[in-house]
Amino acid sequence: MTTNAGSLTGRNKGYRRLFAAGLINGIGDRFSSIAMLALVLHLTGSGMAVGISLGVRVLPYLFMAPLGGMLAGRLPRKTVMMAVDFLRVPVALSLLWVDGESMLWLVYAGSFVMAAGEAIYSPVRKSSIPLLAAPEDLLRINGLEQLLNGCVLIVGAFTGGVISLYFGPDMAFIMNAVSFLAAGLLIRGIHYPKQVLAGDAGRESTPHAEGGNHTLGLSAKRTRRRALRTVIGGSLALQIVFCYELLVPVINGWDNVLISVYAVQVFHTGDSGVGAFYAALGIGLSLSFFAGRLFRKGLMAVALGGLLLEGILLMMISASGHFAAAFLLYILLSLAGGTGNACLDTLVMRETPPPLQPAVFGLLAAVSGTLLGLSMLGAGWLLDYVEPRMLGFAGGAGFAVIALLLGGYFLLHSKWNKRYRES
């Protein structure tokens, strides 16, 4: 990691542990995911079985992500994250019992439970970032989160494949269990600036944790749900983010499926091509950490501009005639997406009061995760009727249209709000 990133985590010591735990946890989970897919394919040789194992990893987000937000509103966030990590240790080890097709149910059950744990863990972890970092560092730290995702994608996918190939899936499952244990112990050492008892709704707070220009005193008369509606209704940025998460995942699932289809069916590069394209995505996410340093203001414009650029790049990938060109375009695609995601996460953290952040992030994860899963299923169906390049071009055009619509909505409402304040 660069000196700049090191100094950033050094100034935010609590976040340094959170980052390390996320890195270890993510790489270990990637080990297990690859090993599970390889094991299912080895035992059954069925693409349908692989599809089921992928599908059960998406379903928990609909119910478990909001549960994570609710738990973090009632219990200390550190306790929730530790519990999820430690409880996933025996689940990861249970996959060692799979020795034939008759035990395939255990793979599906284990995959579902671990994905459910991640669905709970993710919004709690994300809502912890503003409590552990100075407000002036939030944008750069959210860029660092994209670097983390890039490292997990590159190191986890590549190393997991090597381990599964040479040492068998059992070793990957063991390493995944160890990663959960290590991540939980790292989380245990985190100290929030101020952490109240669980009976006070888990409202960890810090003098610099206020979101944006909002101040919210949650009285006994105002329920959390009503407060959530008030905050979203009063924040144009949050309204745009929720619209973004309702629209973009519907198309984003197509791109996730097309990565493999392009590599195998269009460019005829097989599994190595799939791995190269995923490595390109990891490289782009890693580079987005450095690109994020160029933007201090106008975060919404950067995020929507990045979405528009993603759409253009997807259309270019669909028309690309060379594998190397598509590889470079995927790097740029992920760079634009990672930068935009960092801006959107920063806006949510600034606009949402700390007590409501777990609920907001949980709701966003539930919506985006569920729609993404349905989109991937839809892409599989569409590819029986639509040529891959045509579907890719349509997806890119869809991204561009969404970016323009959201950008227009943002500009119009910004002007209306300005006139209202001046009148």
71: left (phi over 0), alpha (psi -120 to 50) or beta: alpha
Answer yes or no: do 174 and 247 share one domain.
Answer: no
CATH of the domain at 405: 1.20.1250.20
pLDDT of 329-379, one tens digit each?
999 999 999 999 999 999 999 898 888 888 888 888 888 888 887 887 788
* Predicted pLDDT of residue 214: 43
Residue 389 burial (CB count, 10 A): 17
Q: Is residue 38 part of a domain?
A: yes
Checking if the pLDDT of 42 tops 90, the result is no
Alpha-carbon gap, residue 255 to 396, rounded angstroms:
9
Number of domains in the chain: 2
* Predicted pLDDT of residue 198: 39
Checking if the pLDDT of 125 tops 80, the result is yes
Residues 289 and 143: beta-carbon distance below 8 Å? yes
Contacts for 271 with CB less than 8 Å, ≥ 6 apart? 263, 264
Alpha-carbon gap, residue 273 to 258, rounded angstroms:
12
- Averaged pLDDT score across all residues of the chain: 81
Q: How far is CA 386 from CA 43, 211, 355, in A?
A: 31, 45, 46
Answer yes or no: do 121 and 234 share one domain.
Answer: no
Residues 310 and 337: beta-carbon distance below 8 Å? yes
pLDDT of 266-288, one tens digit each?
898 876 677 788 888 889 998 98
Confidence of residue 197 (pLDDT cuts 50, 70, 90): very low
241: left (phi over 0), alpha (psi -120 to 50) or beta: alpha
Q: How many residues in the chain?
A: 423
Mean pLDDT of 17-46: 80
Answer yes or no: do 281 and 385 share one domain.
Answer: yes
Alpha-carbon gap, residue 394 to 349, rounded angstroms:
32
Alpha-carbon gap, residue 281 to 107, rounded angstroms:
27
Mean pLDDT of 54-80: 81
Alpha-carbon gap, residue 370 to 60, rounded angstroms:
8
- Lowest-confidence region among 66-75, 195-204, 414-423: 195-204
Residues 397 and 256: beta-carbon distance below 8 Å? no
Answer yes or no: do 296 and 378 share one domain.
Answer: yes
Answer yes or no: do 229 and 174 share one domain.
Answer: no
Mean pLDDT of 111-129: 89
Contacts for 367 with CB less than 8 Å, ≥ 6 apart? 242, 245, 246, 249
Alpha-carbon gap, residue 15 to 7, rounded angstroms:
12
Q: Is residue 209 part of a domain?
A: no
Q: Buried b vs exposed e over 176-205: b needs ≥16 C-beta within 10 Å?
A: bbbbbbbbbebbeebebeebeeeeeebbbb
Answer yes or no: do 347 and 278 share one domain.
Answer: yes
* Predicted pLDDT of residue 86: 95
Segments forming the whole domain that contains residue 345: 223-423
pLDDT of 84-94, one tens digit each?
999 999 999 99
Answer yes or no: do 144 and 286 share one domain.
Answer: no
Pick from 174, 191, 208: which residue ends a domain? 191
Angle between helix axes 236-261 and 299-319 (nearest 10 degrees) is 20
* Predicted pLDDT of residue 8: 57
* Highest-pLDDT range among 67-81, 148-162, 212-226: 67-81
* Predicted pLDDT of residue 289: 85
